[in-house]
Amino acid sequence: MDVISSSIKTYNIWFEISGVEVGQHLYWQIGGLQIHAQVLITSWVVIAILLVSVIIAVRNPQTIPTDGQNLFEYILEFIRDLSKTQIGDEYGPWIPFIGTMFLFIFVSNWSGALLPWKIIELPHGELAAPTNDINTTVALALLTSVAYFYAGLSKKGLSYFEKYIKPTPILLPINILEDFTKPLSLSFRLFGNILADELVVVVLVSLVPLVIPIPVMLLGLFTSGIQALIFATLAAAYIGESMEGHH
């Protein structure tokens, strides 16, 4: 303890820049309830980035696409292909959901890794990727749950609930449990990956600030992109799974 406190005193200026505060949030109050303001602020920035870039790139579509339009056409084709592979032929109505899921998580994760949030100092807590907060990831996972329930019910009606006893009725408890583990695993996978990556980078930066953290940051970019893809793919897979096998 003594050793740590003395090193804290010596390198205080560096701690001010590279300190990490897990579990510290900036609180706003609405009525009797609290809000993690830093998550809201960063999510607004992410939404602004998405909407502005989309508006600029897709303004006058040309037959031979310009660079921005080409990029967004590629993204749309990618999302379409992903949805079609997982959901099947009726993938059309689900493209906005899967696409927004993928883009929101991807831009959130990369904004947390690439944008210099620490420049803006908050009175309490700090700005980071909005997906490093359990509220965000659980919200997205619950939306996915609602989506696949809605998909199954709207396609099959009440006979959707037959799937709980489908292979054999013995598996009923497991099938019910699956409805809880699906959103749980989705949310925790994303939350754990993003928060852990942030922590690793911050701790490394506080220890060896110059070149060593860079491979870990690149790995973080890679895995956070993969996590966005995984979340979107699993959401599409759950939707496809609840819609399948009717006719």
Partner 1 sequence: MASTVMATKPIALAKASPSLSPRKISIRAQAKPSSTSIPNLKRLTSKLLFSVPSIAMLAATPLPALAEMEKAGLFDFNLTLPIIAIEFLLLMVALDKLYFSPLGAFMDARDAKIRAELSEVKDTSAEVKELEEKAVAVMRAARAEIAAALSKMKKEMTAELEVKLAEEQARIELELAAALNNLEKEKEEALRVLDAQIDALSEEIVRKVLPTT
Closest CA to 226 of 138, 109, 133, 140: 109
How far is the CA of 40 from the CAs of 128, 133, 211, in angstroms?
11, 10, 32
Start-to-end Cα distance in the chain: 68
124 touches partner 1 by CB under 8 A: yes
Cβ closest to partner 1, residue 50 vs residue 217: 50
5 touches partner 1 by CB under 8 A: yes
Cβ closest to partner 1, residue 74 vs residue 222: 74
How far apart, in whole angstroms, are the C-alpha atoms of residue 202 and residue 84? 39
Residues 203-222 that bind partner 1 (CB under 8 A): 206
If one counts every other C-beta atom within 10 angstroms of the C-beta of residue 151, the result is 22
96 touches partner 1 by CB under 8 A: yes
Cβ closest to partner 1, residue 121 vs residue 162: 121
Least distance (Å) from partner 1 to the CB of residue 239? 14
Cβ closest to partner 1, residue 20 vs residue 221: 20
Q: Tell which one of 21, 81, 178, 244 touches partner 1 (CB under 8 A).
A: 21
Least distance (Å) from partner 1 to the CB of residue 210? 19
Piece in contact with partner 1 (CB under 8 A), picked from 36-44, 165-173, 178-186, 234-242: 36-44
Three-class DSSP labels, 187-239: HHHHHHHHHHHHHHHHHHHHHCCCCCHHHHHHHHHHHHHHHHHHHHHHHHHHH
Piece in contact with partner 1 (CB under 8 A), picked from 28-36, 152-160, 216-224, 226-234: 28-36
Length of the chain: 247
User: Which pairing describes strands 27-30 and 33-36: parallel, antiparallel, or unpaired?
Assistant: antiparallel
Residues 130-169 that bind partner 1 (CB under 8 A): 130, 133-136, 138-140, 142-143
Q: Tell which one of 17, 61, 184, 208 touches partner 1 (CB under 8 A).
A: 61
104 touches partner 1 by CB under 8 A: yes
Least distance (Å) from partner 1 to the CB of residue 37? 9
Q: Which residues bind partner 1 (CB under 8 A)?
A: 1-2, 5-6, 8-9, 12, 15, 19-25, 27, 30, 33-36, 39-40, 43-44, 47, 50-51, 54-55, 58, 61, 63, 69, 72-73, 76-77, 80, 95-97, 99-101, 103-104, 124, 130, 133-136, 138-140, 142-143, 195, 199, 206
